[in-house]
């Protein structure tokens, strides 16, 4: 019996590692390839900021920006207080009041938050403004636009 065990042990040692591990080498290569694909889909924080700047510039060009510094200061103070309590307080948050009667607010990647003059006109108090800005901040914090871009890239790949 001891001789049989010795022969089995010697055969196991003589078998190539790939055969002993059941083809893990191929699985490892597949994992590496998948990781490369995911890395290509990743968007860095600086890329996110550049994307947000581009989107914000287009929105500002389309609607214009309110030219009242006091309005911008107020919106920025409320927005900054909220953003500092978010999961991404170190982003360079930018709050912009768009010069349109339309009632809307927009978030762009990288910390750009826009609210329209029309929406501000309907806001009754600071709490309502905080609700609108907080909603847009959440889009940036949760990277909703960035995730949508990554999904589109993954489908196209």
Helix (H, G, I), strand (E, B) or coil at 10: helix
pLDDT of residue 71: 98
What's the pLDDT at 50? 95
- φ, ψ of residue 97 in degrees (nearest 5): -100, 120
Query: Hunting for tokens 């083809």 — which residue is that?
Result: 23
Q: Which two tokens stand for residue 118?
A: 């029309």
- 118 class by beta-carbon count within 10 Å (0-12 exposed, 13-18 middle, 19+ buried): middle
Q: Residue 22, by phi and psi: left (phi above 0), alpha (psi -120 to 50) or beta?
A: left
Q: From first to last of its 157 residues, what are the pLDDT tens digits of the chain?
A: 666 555 555 555 555 555 555 566 677 677 666 666 655 668 899 999 999 999 999 999 999 999 999 999 999 999 999 999 999 999 999 999 999 999 999 999 999 999 999 999 999 999 999 999 999 999 999 999 888 888 877 776 6
**pTM given for the model:** 0.73
| Cα distances (angstroms) measured from residue 148 to each of 76, 109, 112, 135, 145 | 27, 11, 17, 18, 5
């Amino acid at each position: 019996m001891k001789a049989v065990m010795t022969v089995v042990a010697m055969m196991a040692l003589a078998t190539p590692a790939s055969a002993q591990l059941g083809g893990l080498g191929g699985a490892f290569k597949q994992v590496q390839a998948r990781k490369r694909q995911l890395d290509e889909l990743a968007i860095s924080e600086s890329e996110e900021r550049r994307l947000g700047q581009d989107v914000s510039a287009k929105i500002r060009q389309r609607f214009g920006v309110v030219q009242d510094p006091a309005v911008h200061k107020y919106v920025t103070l409320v927005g900054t207080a909220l953003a500092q309590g978010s999961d991404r307080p170190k982003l360079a948050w930018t709050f912009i009041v768009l010069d349109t009667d339309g009632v809307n607010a927009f978030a762009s990647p990288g910390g750009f938050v826009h609210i329209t003059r029309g929406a501000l006109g309907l806001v009754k108090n600071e709490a309502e403004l905080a609700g609108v800005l907080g909603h847009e901040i959440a889009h940036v914090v949760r990277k909703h636009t960035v995730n949508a871009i990554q999904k589109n890239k993954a489908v196209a790949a």
